[in-house]
Amino acid sequence: MKKQITMILSGLFLAMGVQTASAAMVSTQSLLQVENSVVQAHDSAVDLRAMLTHDLVDLGVSATDAAHRVSLLTNEQIVALNAELENMPAGGDILGVAVLIFLVFIFTDAVGATDVFTFVKPI
C-alpha cells in the first residue's frame, strides 16, 4: 500500500513539471527608464485625480466628498471617468422615468390591481 501511494505521489510530482529560473544582467539605463515611466505614470494619475476632484466640485459635489470619492477609485477608473465625465447624465432621463411609471400603472390597471385610468378595462 505504501509503495502504491509513493508511486502515485511521484507520478503527480513528475506530471507537474519542473520550472527553471533564468537570470540575466540588467543595465542601469533600463532600470532608470522603468523608474522614469513609473514616476511619469504616477504624476499623471495624481494630475488626473486633481482634475477629477475639481470637476466634481464644479458640478456641485462638496470638496470633501469629491476628494473622498476620488480617493476610492483606481487609476483605470480615474482615466475612464475623466474621459466620459462630460457625456455622463447627471440626473437621468425624466421622460423615460415618466413613461415607465405610466406603463406600470397601465399594466396594474389591466391586471385589476389598481384603478388609476378609466380607459383601461381589467382583464
**Whether residue 105 sits in one domain with residue 59:** no
**Whether residue 98 sits in one domain with residue 82:** no
**Whether residue 78 sits in one domain with residue 97:** no
**Whether residue 94 sits in one domain with residue 71:** no
**Whether residue 84 sits in one domain with residue 29:** yes
| Residue-level pLDDT, tens digit, the chain, 123 residues | 777 777 776 766 666 666 666 777 878 887 677 776 766 666 677 777 888 888 888 878 888 888 888 888 887 777 777 777 666 666 566 777 777 788 888 888 888 888 877 877 777
Contact 123, 110 (CB under 8 A): yes
Number of structural domains (the chain) is 2
Which of the 8 DSSP states describes residue 91?
A: S
**Whether residue 67 sits in one domain with residue 99:** no
The domain of 74 spans: 25-88
Contact 108, 97 (CB under 8 A): no
Rounded Cα–Cα distance for residues 114 and 102 (Å): 13
User: Is 20 domain-assigned?
Assistant: no
**Whether residue 79 sits in one domain with residue 42:** yes
**Whether residue 68 sits in one domain with residue 114:** no
User: Is 8 domain-assigned?
Assistant: no
